[in-house]
Structure 1
């Protein structure tokens, strides 16, 4: 996810490095956020130069520093502006433009059924809806009822993708069957657990749950993740940011909590690599 203003400041955002796309990753989209129409248009055009398959506008991020600037789900307080910026981005690029958003800003106002249709009318190619308001952040349970109403709207012709609380293959199947969505998006459940996508796909196709990854496989993938993060972000930043992933990578491994706390204290790539390899 890229801030539109940051993209326009090359000294803060080395595009040649951060927007690197590998062919084996496709289809891939670049997501942008912001609240200024011209900045969003220019950011979308810059993102298009990296040759992704889609440009996604994030009208859903609930983080305070984003919302306080009228970006992310903060735009849900100004639907007219949301529609205007989206329309301008759609017109400015040749790639398909998609949107991710939420039900509304708070419990008193959940206009997603109307908003989805208006976004479709200005040309977006698909919409992803998180089943919470901005005020909820990630608390409580995601409400898929309105997502289902968007999908059931006979005027909606574009794909409707549901998001929120999908943390297992069984939950994914339930959401497809209950709400008829065209697709699902998995977010937090994939943190440190990239295997969830294969597990969900397999279950949807065969009805069979696949075996979880072995400890050695978890370690190998975790280390590959760490190495790539160091390559892109530098060792210090990568080590700090990787700390939020260890719980996911080693969830369910007996007595790993103590080891995780130990790894969290390590400050060099070599130390972390050595400690994890000792477990293999």
Structure 2
């Protein structure tokens, strides 16, 4: 595949976790990757160890000026964009009465506004390639749970935004889908999940385990690629069956 034909993906929140795993998987499949993150040390480390053709974009998706600049930088480097993976996100868990407006806005600015801004900026380039948008939502956007008033609401909004994108952009050949990860064995999750929480999740998940970053990345990569060419407007829970079993983990309750 020549350089002009080789597909290009822009992945936000790509310095670690699901974003980095997705970028690595897509690079293995021959994609060129634009790695975007606001954490400069982590981004440099990820880029230094990245196996595949890639560029680094140091931006914060919550900044309205960042999205058009990131798109320009990607087009300047690669000449095209075939997929946008909106993975960047922040987690802030706490009881409703302790979630003040500052905490609420901090979550919304990245988790929702960032997805909107990046997608809007990428539309002209995606029209040219009949490309794909994959938004990373969460199982917390599909059903309510404790301590997630801002996070869960932001991810539910991302799900609705995805459907809007699919409905309005389909006529241009642009597909939009969302992936909703369940509990994933990330370094962050393992650092904050007590053994009681881990055991409770295992009890509630039919597959009886956490997912891996790479397993989520496989779903994202599929949705970006040609094998999903007739898939749009879909909300896919990559959660080991967690959504099918209901909610209510005692270990996650505040009292």
When normalised by structure 2's length, the TM-score is 0.36
**Which structure has the higher relative contact order (CA within 8 Å, separation 6+)?**
2
Structure of greater Rg: 1
Instruction: With the length of structure 1 as denominator, give the TM-score of the two structures.
Output: 0.33
